[in-house]
Amino acid sequence: MVAVSGEGLGLTMRIPFRSNPHSTGIYIVEYLFVVLSPCAFLAADYILLGRITNHLNGHRHLKPINPNKIMRIFVGSDICTFLVQAAGGGLSTAQDSKLRDVGSKVFLAGIALQLASFAFFTVVYLMFFWRV
């Protein structure tokens, strides 16, 4: 519910941004909510894998990682990448062009870290379902 609301708010903020394209405040809200709300969708996936594993009593199928720690590990990585992306997004709205460039690169690094985290989760997820 939080992710859908965030995405909706970000997309709704495009309406006032269209009539006032030079507003930094509207841009920041729109940019951050549209780009960062998928983190909540991913967190739901992380929680579900741990719960499915516990429900099926499938601890042995998830040998490298303890099913009770899956949520903590991946939600923790999600929070870290969220903070990196938020910091980059904030810097990308600076007046100084050098800071904007640094902000764009920091934001891109956050996206890359989130992709790596989700790719690792996907491997764990597929390995679990293959073994089950």
18-22, 45-49, 104-108: segment of lowest average pLDDT: 18-22
Verify that 10 and 55 share a domain, yes or no: no
Verify that 70 and 11 share a domain, yes or no: no
CA max distance for the chain = 57
Please say if the pLDDT value at position 124 is more than 70: yes
Give the model's pLDDT for residue 115: 92
Verify that 86 and 118 share a domain, yes or no: yes
For residue 79, the enclosing domain spans 38-131
Q: CA gyration radius for the chain?
A: 18
N-term to C-term CA, the chain:
30
CB distance 125 to 42 below 8 Å? no
pLDDT > 90 fraction of the chain, expressed in percent and rounded: 16
What number of other Cβ atoms are within 10 A of residue 108's Cβ?
14
Confidence of residue 29 (pLDDT cuts 50, 70, 90): confident
Verify that 126 and 61 share a domain, yes or no: yes
Total count of domains within the chain: 2
Model pTM score: 0.76
Dihedral (C-alpha) 41, 34, 78, 100: value to the nearest 10 degrees?
170
